[in-house]
C-alpha cells in the first residue's frame, strides 16, 4: 500500500478519488451468552463478491472528500452519516486500479447507532441487493480451528480493504498486536 498525505493526494492532477469508512462501536454483548465480543466493526459484501468498506468514488469538481463520502453512505447505508476531516485515517494509491487514490476514514459510534445503520441498510438504502449485498460484522475473536478473525481474513477483499482493516484494528486498539499477528498467521495457512 503506497501511502501519502491527504494534501499530496489532493494535489495530484488527473487522479480519481474514492473514500471509504470503517464504522465501529464498543459493545457488551456476549456470543452464546459467554464470549465478550467487545467491539462491532462494519464491513459489507459488495456486488463483486468481495468484502469492503462502505463508500465509493467522489467527484471533487462537485463535492469534498467528506461530503462525497456522506453521499455514498446515503446510497449504500440509507443514512447520511456525517464524516469529518478528523475521521481521516490514511490515503494511498489503489492497488490494481491506475490513477485511483483511496482515502480511508474511521468513525466511532454508539452500539444503538450502528444498529440503526444496519437496519436502514436493508430497508431504505437504494443500493441494497444491488451494489451492496449486505452489511457484515467482523468477528474480532478466535474460535476453534481458525474460526473467528482468522477465517474472516481468509475471505477475498477489494483493493486495500484488508490491510486498512488490520491497521485500523491495531491503531484503534480493537485487537491486540499479538492477536493480530496470530490471526494473520492462521489466516494464511
Ligand atoms: N481500498 C482500495 N480501493 C478500494 C477499496 C478499498 N478499501 N474499496 C473500493 N476500492 C476501489 C474499487 O476497486 C473501486 O474501483 O475503489 C473504487 C471505487 O469504490 P466503490 O466502493 O466500488 O465505488 P462506488 O462509487 O460505490 O461504486 C461505483 O465502482 O467498482 C465500480 O463499477 C463499479 O458501479 C460501480 C462503481
Ligand atoms: Mg457506491
Ligand atoms: Mg461503494
* Mean pLDDT of the chain, nearest integer: 96
Residue 1 pLDDT level (bands cut at 50, 70, 90): low
Residue 128 pLDDT level (bands cut at 50, 70, 90): very high
- The answer to whether position 173 is within a domain reads no
pLDDT of 35 > 80? The answer is: yes
Task: Show Cβ contacts of residue 115 under 8 Å, excluding neighbours closer than 6 positions.
Answer: none
Q: Which residue has the least CA distance to atom 2 on ligand 1?
A: 159
- The answer to whether position 180 is within a domain reads no
Rounded distance, CA 38 to CA 30, Å? Answer: 8
The pLDDT, as a whole number, for residue 36 is 87
Question: Does residue 118's CB lie within 6 angstroms of at least one atom of ligand 1?
Answer: no
Give φ, ψ of 6 to 5 degrees. -60, -40
Residues having C-beta closer than 5 Å to ion ligand 3: 56
The larger pLDDT score, comparing residue 13 to residue 92, is at 92
Residue 98 neighbours by CB distance under 10 Å: 8
35 C-alpha to ligand 2 centroid (Å): 34
Helix 161-171 to helix 177-187 angle (10° resolution) is 150
102 C-alpha to ligand 1 centroid (Å): 9
- The answer to whether position 13 is within a domain reads yes
Could you tell me the residue range of the domain that residue 135 belongs to? Answer: 2-141
- The answer to whether position 174 is within a domain reads no
The pLDDT, as a whole number, for residue 60 is 95
The pLDDT, as a whole number, for residue 155 is 97
Ligand 1 atom with the smallest distance to the CA of 92 is: 2
133 C-alpha to ligand 3 centroid (Å): 11
Note whether 183 and 162 are within 8 A (CB).
no
Instruction: Tell me the three cell numbers of residue 117.
Output: 445503520
Instruction: Tell me the three cell numbers of residue 155.
Output: 475471505
The pLDDT, as a whole number, for residue 80 is 87
- The answer to whether position 9 is within a domain reads yes
Look at the block and give the residue holding cell 463483486.
Answer: 48
- The answer to whether position 184 is within a domain reads no
Question: Does residue 130's CB lie within 6 angstroms of at least one atom of ligand 1?
Answer: no
Look at the block and give the residue holding cell 452519516.
Answer: 81
Q: Which residue has the least CA distance to atom 32 on ligand 1?
A: 131
CATH of residue 121: 3.90.79.10
- The answer to whether position 41 is within a domain reads yes
- The answer to whether position 189 is within a domain reads no
Residue 183 neighbours by CB distance under 10 Å: 24
Count of domains in the chain? 1
pLDDT of 189 > 90? The answer is: no
47 C-alpha to ligand 1 centroid (Å): 10
94 C-alpha to ligand 3 centroid (Å): 14
127-153 as b/e: b if 16+ CB within 10 A: bbeebbeebebbbbbbeeeeebbbbbb
pLDDT per residue as tens digits for the range 37-84 = 999 999 999 999 999 999 999 999 999 999 999 999 999 999 989 999
Ligand closest to Cα of 16 equals: 1
Average pLDDT over residues 118-136: 98
Residue 13 pLDDT level (bands cut at 50, 70, 90): confident
Average pLDDT over residues 116-130: 98
Amino acid at each position: 500500500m503506497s501511502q501519502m498525505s491527504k494534501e499530496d493526494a489532493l494535489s495530484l492532477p488527473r487522479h480519481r478519488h474514492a473514500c471509504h469508512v470503517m464504522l465501529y462501536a464498543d459493545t457488551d454483548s456476549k456470543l452464546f451468552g459467554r464470549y465478550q465480543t467487545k467491539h462491532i466493526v462494519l464491513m459489507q459484501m459488495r456486488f463483486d463478491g468481495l468484502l469492503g468498506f462502505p463508500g465509493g468514488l467522489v467527484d471533487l469538481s462537485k463535492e469534498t472528500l467528506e461530503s462525497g463520502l456522506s453521499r455514498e453512505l446515503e446510497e449504500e447505508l440509507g443514512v447520511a452519516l456525517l464524516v469529518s476531516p478528523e475521521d481521516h485515517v490514511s490515503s494511498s494509491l489503489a492497488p490494481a486500479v491506475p490513477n485511483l487514490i483511496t482515502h480511508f476514514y474511521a468513525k466511532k459510534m454508539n452500539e444503538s447507532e450502528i444498529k440503526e445503520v444496519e437496519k436502514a441498510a436493508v430497508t431504505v438504502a437504494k443500493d441494497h441487493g444491488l451494489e451492496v449485498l449486505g452489511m457484515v460484522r467482523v468477528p474480532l475473536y478466535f474460535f476453534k480451528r481458525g474460526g473467528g478473525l482468522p477465517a474472516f481474513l481468509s475471505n477475498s477483499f477489494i483493493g486495500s480493504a484488508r490491510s486498512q482493516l488490520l491497521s485500523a484494528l491495531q491503531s484503534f486498539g480493537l485487537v491486540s498486536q499479538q492477536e493480530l499477528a496470530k490471526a494473520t498467521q492462521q489466516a494464511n495457512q
